Amino acid sequence: MWINYPHMPTGAPGSIQIMEELVAFATRNDIVLLHDNPYSHILNPDPISILAIPGAKEIALELNSLSKTFNMPGWRVGILAGREDWVAATLKVKSNMDSGMFLGIQKGAIAALSLGKNWYSDLDENYQNRRKLVWKLAEKLSLTYSKDATGLFVWCKMPTGQSAEALVEELLYEKNIFITPGKIFGPAGEAYVRISLCMPEFKILEAINRINLN
């Protein structure tokens, strides 16, 4: 069973209680939990690892990535943690898919993992500033959102009766602004759009200014 907290695309942070319930469910039903946790340190002051939950080490594996926390997308540096026998079984498959990682990327990953706490706080400050602007952008578009959400995106709900797809097309073709329609994440996202924080503040301000020109 795949789980993902902080959740993408909604940004739901999850909680210790949710993790405990999931571990209990997996234990009762004899299934493996795979927790994808790449947003653990993004706008999230209290990172949670499912492996810290009592009993989880027997039924769970956890994935993380340097792509989000250390701005290394495309370098394909990740982490798989959990039971030794399950990790070994995974490595048997992986060893038949590739034969190693470029040394320069490995050294870059070592440097990233050696960074101090200031790296995390400075990164969060940047994302906090961007998120405040994205909230303004969302309000200009009459979208609603949760300020408790985490991660690199803001998940926004459309006003009742309005089409997310129509809004996306209007912004794209009339304002040259792209936001993601929620329906690409499944039918439950039909009434939502997602706005990325992966852009500098001046670009978010430019988007707000274009909408103000209505």
Q: Are residues 43 and 122 in the same domain?
A: no
Percent of the chain with pLDDT over 70: 100
Closest CA to 61 of 34, 86, 21: 34
Q: Are residues 78 and 94 in the same domain?
A: yes
pLDDT in tens, 124-180: 999 999 999 999 999 999 999 999 999 999 999 999 999 999 999 999 999 999 999
Using an 8 Å Cβ cutoff, are 61 and 81 in contact? yes
Domain boundary among 91, 113, 135: 113
Confidence of residue 100 (pLDDT cuts 50, 70, 90): confident
> What is the per-residue pLDDT for 119?
94
Residue 83 burial (10 A CB sphere; 0-12, 13-18, 19+) = middle
Max CA distance (Å), the chain: 60
pLDDT in tens, 24-50: 999 999 999 999 999 999 999 889 999
The CA angle 140-141-147, to the nearest 5 degrees, is 80
Q: Are residues 106 and 143 in the same domain?
A: no
Structural domain harbouring 180: 117-212
Give me the CATH number covering residue 79: 3.40.640.10
